[in-house]
Structure 1
């Protein structure tokens, strides 16, 4: 990639895992959330997705920007899981019992930090309450640094059919610097055990960390390829010390500059493509027969806070647990970050929504446009207008569509576009966030800070 493009476009922009981004959330009441839940029963996407946030980690990694907390005492963990069940008892009765579950996802923190028997009870509660679609995605994020063979065996009996394993890097020197424990078991043994149970496996790696080089990260990618995961994610480390002050520790060890960081990703992508994997979105790689690959080819890829999904598994997300963000058709709502407050409030039979965002009809249209670009790297204005039953001109008017800005992107080789179609070029793909931001009216006068694309 040309240095001039990196210098010009490697500027802070939202990641657009949601629209609007979460830093636009404002104080939000329980009643407004309950109103959005009621409305969700009549939305076009009828399937259900549940996100359960397990906030605890046995050790806090220095790079992490997630809502994570040090591991609590046994009685606190048990009280927290009880509160999750109590939150289910508040929300599940409000949902149409004919709506099927398409997804369940456990994130954190480290969900596997808590006793696995408690996780099974949570899954059983949800799965006994609603029907499920054919081949639902029941997934959990796993920290392999603390899981024994018995733990993995127990996890496979909880109903999960997808495991996301957070390796981050196979280089133990890198892991030590970022305070991440390497896998307790050989990764080959973990893969064999999960494959025997018929599970799908995601492998998560992180680039842009101290002591990583293009060559060292390439070796980690080669080790990952040898394991043959179903999906591999190469996340770019987002340095946002104003969000997580622990990240300042990494500055002492030195961080790769944007050009070396981009070279890490390009080299990794080249190795993965040569091994038969295909790119999905900004950072995912899958096999050609993967459901996500087929959705990408058909321009039907979607995503939520939990990652990419297809039309088949697209659903409104009901989040449970501290900091969990529900993503409904008309609103977002986020729970409190305070664990004791969450436990106490749920014990009283009350929700504890801290903040959220009610989307106007115009913003709902903007969300559709930006999601189409971020997921499929193109906008078919005519097809989108037909699906949403609005005119192309109304769609464009909902965004900050600016012919002059698009012309500049096209001149720099980032996009190709006409009045009815816009698509990213191969070289421009790295800067899809920049193009999305140009369509975002909220970015015209934003007071918020963001990470850089590279």
Structure 2
């Protein structure tokens, strides 16, 4: 797939990443703890019925300069212990509020670096989750790991706690790139770590990469993908580096090395796409690849792929997301809410028996309609107006009227061969997949808010 340069220049504009709708920068401080607790109780009567649990571990031993996540840099094991104690207490505060008939379909550990914790702490939290919740038959229990902190013993312990998917944040195989972005170089080769994981039947291996970092070229990134393909991961992700130094000041350091130009980033994307699809992987959304037999690839074929704050998922594993830990974002059917900003505030509030919600957002009917449309476009590269209308008991004309939508807004995309549409449906083309964010933004009535800043689409 070759993406024309004129399209790159035309569509490389700031737009939301749409990992959620509305994006997190629309959350407000008017939404507080009482609002969240009320929403938790009400969520028992909402769909989806399943429970998705997110555990946020903010700790990293050093700051990767590209990072846009909420982190706390420390090696203090005592602080980690205090945090784990608070996190367990938060779970014990929320779990009684949830209907015991509801089941957990998904558990995701993110950060930060979850495996910066001693494995015993992870075991304590997983034991508590299993003691307080019932699970569906085949839940997805995943953890993001820095491969520099993994070995056979740690992997064995993770599997014993119930994890069935381990994602390794490789980012790049070039040491020069890793050194520039301040990322530790693993002492055990990624290929060997993958073998260690696969000793356990049924445990999947994910590899995560970032393109657009200093010293990366299309050729060098292609070599990293070749090396990854030799490992034969179950899923692979190629994240486009989002340069937002107005949010994460540490990213300014990367400008001293020099960042690849947009056209170079596009070539990296094209190179990865060509190699991954030639190897038989199915493209999922903007940046994910999965084997054809993978649940996500099957869901895409059936146009039932979904996405929540934990990433792409199937209808079977999706659930309302209940987040635990500092800065964790819960995604219930009616609201979003975000926990305390700092580790210190989080621990102090939990010790006092309070869950501190610093900001959140209550969804309007228009928001829900927009969210569903954007979800269909970003996940399934297809949208059927009647399906949307049926979900809300509206007519198609009422849905379009609510969004002040006119098909002429799509004509530019049609002219550029990014999509086709009829009165009843919209279908994204293979090249259009690269511009999903731009296409989704057409349906976003809030995107014109001048007070909000977003990373560029390329």
What residue in structure 1 maps to residue 400 of structure 2? 396
* Of 40, 60, 67, the match for 1:57: 60
In structure 2, distance between residues paired with 1:90 and 1:162: 27
What residue in structure 2 maps to residue 26 of structure 1? 28
TM-score scaled by structure 2?
0.97
Secondary structure of the equivalent of 1:120?
helix
Structure 1 residue 233 displacement after superposition: 0.2
Structure 1 residue 72 displacement after superposition: 4.6
What residue in structure 1 maps to residue 121 of structure 2? 118
Structure 1 residue 188 displacement after superposition: 2.1
Aligned positions of 1:55-454 closer than 5 A: 55-198=58-201, 199-454=203-458
Secondary structure of the equivalent of 1:332?
strand
Greater alpha carbon shift after TM alignment, 257-266 vs 153-162: 153-162
In structure 1, distance between residues paired with 2:133 and 2:315: 20
CA offsets 1:29-63 (integer angstroms, 9 cap, x no match): 11100111111101121000110100000111000
Secondary structure of the equivalent of 2:413?
helix
Secondary structure of the equivalent of 2:448?
helix
Aligned CA distance change for structure 1 residues 410 and 83 (closer, same or farther; 3 Å): same
Task: Tell me if structure 2 keeps the 8 A contact 1:400–1:440.
Answer: no
Secondary structure of the equivalent of 1:235?
strand
Structure 1 residue 400 displacement after superposition: 4.5
In structure 2, distance between residues paired with 1:386 and 1:211: 50
Task: Tell me if structure 1 keeps the 8 A contact 2:72–2:343.
Answer: no
Structure 1 residue 227 displacement after superposition: 0.2
Structure 1 residue 369 displacement after superposition: 1.0
Task: Tell me if structure 2 keeps the 8 A contact 1:402–1:439.
Answer: no
Aligned length: 454
Unaligned ranges ≥5, structure 2: none
Unaligned ranges ≥5, structure 1: none
Greater alpha carbon shift after TM alignment, 209-218 vs 435-444: 435-444
Secondary structure of the equivalent of 2:323?
strand
Aligned CA distance change for structure 1 residues 446 and 298 (closer, same or farther; 3 Å): farther
In structure 1, distance between residues paired with 2:450 and 2:51: 33
Task: Tell me if structure 1 keeps the 8 A contact 2:142–2:166.
Answer: yes
Task: Tell me if structure 1 keeps the 8 A contact 2:338–2:358.
Answer: yes
In structure 2, distance between residues paired with 1:399 and 1:242: 31
Greater alpha carbon shift after TM alignment, 426-435 vs 8-17: 426-435
Structure 1 residue 155 displacement after superposition: 1.8
CA offsets 1:83-125 (integer angstroms, 9 cap, x no match): 1011111110000001000011100000000111010111111
In structure 2, distance between residues paired with 1:238 and 1:266: 18
Aligned CA distance change for structure 1 residues 154 and 445 (closer, same or farther; 3 Å): closer
Is 2:17 aligned against 1:15?
yes
In structure 1, distance between residues paired with 2:37 and 2:114: 27
Greater alpha carbon shift after TM alignment, 221-230 vs 121-130: 121-130
Greater alpha carbon shift after TM alignment, 88-97 vs 389-398: 389-398
Task: Tell me if structure 1 keeps the 8 A contact 2:47–2:320.
Answer: no
CA offsets 1:285-311 (integer angstroms, 9 cap, x no match): 000111001100111011112110001
CA offsets 1:141-166 (integer angstroms, 9 cap, x no match): 00011223222222221110000100
Secondary structure of the equivalent of 1:319?
strand
Task: Tell me if structure 2 keeps the 8 A contact 1:98–1:130.
Answer: no
Q: Structure 1: which 4+ aligned runs deviate by more than 6 Å?
A: none
Task: Tell me if structure 1 keeps the 8 A contact 2:204–2:234.
Answer: yes
In structure 1, distance between residues paired with 2:37 and 2:450: 29
In structure 2, distance between residues paired with 1:290 and 1:148: 26
In structure 2, distance between residues paired with 1:250 and 1:304: 30
What residue in structure 1 maps to residue 8 of structure 2? 6
Task: Tell me if structure 2 keeps the 8 A contact 1:377–1:424.
Answer: yes
